[in-house]
């Protein structure tokens, strides 16, 4: 059984009628998973409620300043607003973002307990959020917080993050690149938002691998990089846990980027990850064409079901 951590509360982060990061992303994925041939192999799990995790704020502060956390809470409590032109906060957004962090931490616990993959189906996404601010649709840095949390668990000495979202995870990289216990790898379209992620950025401990790709790249461009760069980088690091920022906006149908991947390519990406370790936590980041997004998540989940 593959754990999929999901709550309908994640639909209550409201972004407006025309915003691409909308609740329908999750409902489309849930509908596809429930109709899948392997639906009986999915274990739907509710995230731990925020009130039942008294340490959640302290985990949040491993990645974000208390001033920024208070800012998000204040904007939400005052009825909503914007962190920047792309990043709205609605009245429930702060609570929902906290629940998303809780879901990612639950995912860490499940993966470490079962030594098999888990998928976190949550929003808002997180990989652009920095210590001081959210941006690019992201409020809190779910993947980075999960890294720091995992390193507090017994027997976990090294954690790797693989970010296959089409946009560079500037927030995640900025938060983890100074930690020798964390490796970060991103393959992303360049030039593209947010304009970061140069190949020359290696981290303080040669623990960062950025693979910027030109617009129009398809699986023929991606596959050699996986085989010759990413897998050797991850295997050499020997992570006790692999966290995947699973964005699906490099799909050919996605409206926000210019790549040419197909849904089945993400099944291959998942197989590559499983060749490194079965202890994989995948969490949703981007992906904005509802049909191809759903199909790509199906490909990812199916590969994980096969080993669980």
* pLDDT tens, position by position, 43-100: 999 999 999 999 999 999 999 999 999 999 999 999 999 999 999 999 999 999 999 9
| Burial tier of 36 (Cβ tally within 10 Å: 0-12, 13-18, 19+) | middle
Range 181-201 average pLDDT:
98
Range 2-9 average pLDDT:
98
Q: Which of 3, 4, 13 lies closest to 99, judged by CA?
A: 13
**Tens-place pLDDT, residues 258-282:** 999 999 999 999 999 999 999 999 9
Spatial separation of the C-alpha atoms in residues 61 and 56, rounded to whole Å: 9
Contacts of 272 (CB under 8 A, 6+ apart): 226, 227, 230, 231
* pLDDT (0 to 100) of residue 121: 98
Q: Which two tokens stand for residue 54?
A: 């008294």
* pLDDT (0 to 100) of residue 26: 98
Q: Which two tokens stand for residue 159?
A: 């954690």
Spatial separation of the C-alpha atoms in residues 99 and 142, rounded to whole Å: 10
CATH architecture of 2-307: 3-Layer(aba) Sandwich (3.40)
State the average pLDDT for the chain: 98
Give how far Cα 2 sits from Cα of 6, 27, 71, 110, 303, Å: 13, 19, 36, 10, 10
Q: Inform me whether the pLDDT recorded for 136 exceeds 90.
A: yes
Q: Inform me whether the pLDDT recorded for 35 exceeds 90.
A: yes
Q: Inform me whether the pLDDT recorded for 300 exceeds 90.
A: yes
Among residues 13, 128, 167, 188, the one annotated as catalytic is 128
Give how far Cα 269 sits from Cα of 15, 189, 246, Å: 30, 16, 10
The answer to whether 240 touches 278, Cβ cutoff 8 Å, is no
Per domain, the residue ranges of the chain are 2-307
Tell me what percent of the residues of the chain surpass a pLDDT of 70: 100
Give how far Cα 109 sits from Cα of 5, 39, 162, 297, Å: 12, 23, 19, 22
| DSSP string for residues in the chain | -EEEE--GGGGG----TT-SS-THHHHHHHHHHHTSTTGGGEEEEPPPPGGG-TTHHHHHTTTS-HHHHHHHHHHHHTT-EEEETTEEE-TTHHHHHHHHHHHHHHHHHHHHHHTS-EEE--SS--TT--SS--BTTBSS-HHHHHHHHHTTSTT---EEEEE-SSS--HHHHHHHTT-TTEEEEEEEESS-TT----TT---TTS-EEEEEE-TT--HHHHHHHIIIIIHHHHHHH--SEEEEEE--TTBTT-TT----B-HHHHHHHHHHHHHH-S-EEEEE-----HHHHHHHHHHHHHHHHHH-
Range 99-122 average pLDDT:
98
Cα 290–chain centre separation: 17
* pLDDT (0 to 100) of residue 308: 86
135 φ, ψ (degrees, to nearest 5): -170, 170
Q: Is 128 a catalytic residue?
A: yes
Which residue carries 């699986």 as its tokens?
Answer: 219
* pLDDT (0 to 100) of residue 168: 98
């Amino acid at each position: 059984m593959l754990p999929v951590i999901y709550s309908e509360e994640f639909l209550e982060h409201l972004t407006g009628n025309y915003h691409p990061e909308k609740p329908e992303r999750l409902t489309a994925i849930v509908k596809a998973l429930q109709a899948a041939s392997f639906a009986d192999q999915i274990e739907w799990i509710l995230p731990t409620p925020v009130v039942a995790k008294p340490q959640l704020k302290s985990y949040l502060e491993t990645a974000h300043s208390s001033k920024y956390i208070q800012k998000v809470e204040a904007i939400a409590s005052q009825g909503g607003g914007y962190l920047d032109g792309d990043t709205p906060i609605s009245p429930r957004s702060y609570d929902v973002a906290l629940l998303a962090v809780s879901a990612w931490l639950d995912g860490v616990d499940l993966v470490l307990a079962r030594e098999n993959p888990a998928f976190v189906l949550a929003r808002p996404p997180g990989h652009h959020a920095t210590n001081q601010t959210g941006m690019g649709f992201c409020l809190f840095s779910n993947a980075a917080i999960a890294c720091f949390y995992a390193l507090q668990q017994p027997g976990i000495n090294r954690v790797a993050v693989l970010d296959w979202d089409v946009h560079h995870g500037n927030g995640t990289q900025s938060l983890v690149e100074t930690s020798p216990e964390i490796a970060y790898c991103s393959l992303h379209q360049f030039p593209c938002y947010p304009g970061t992620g140069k190949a020359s950025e290696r981290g303080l401990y040669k623990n960062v691998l950025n693979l910027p790709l030109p617009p129009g790249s398809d699986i023929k461009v991606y596959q050699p990089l996986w085989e010759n760069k990413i897998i050797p980088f991850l295997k050499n690091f020997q992570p006790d846990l692999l966290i995947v920022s699973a964005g699906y906006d490099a799909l050919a149908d996605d409206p926000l980027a210019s790549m040419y991947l197909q849904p089945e390519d993400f099944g291959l990406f998942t197989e590559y990850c499983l060749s490194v370790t079965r202890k994989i936590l995948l969490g949703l980041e981007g992906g904005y064409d509802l049909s191809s997004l759903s199909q790509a998540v199906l490909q990812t989940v199916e590969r994980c079901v096969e080993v669980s």
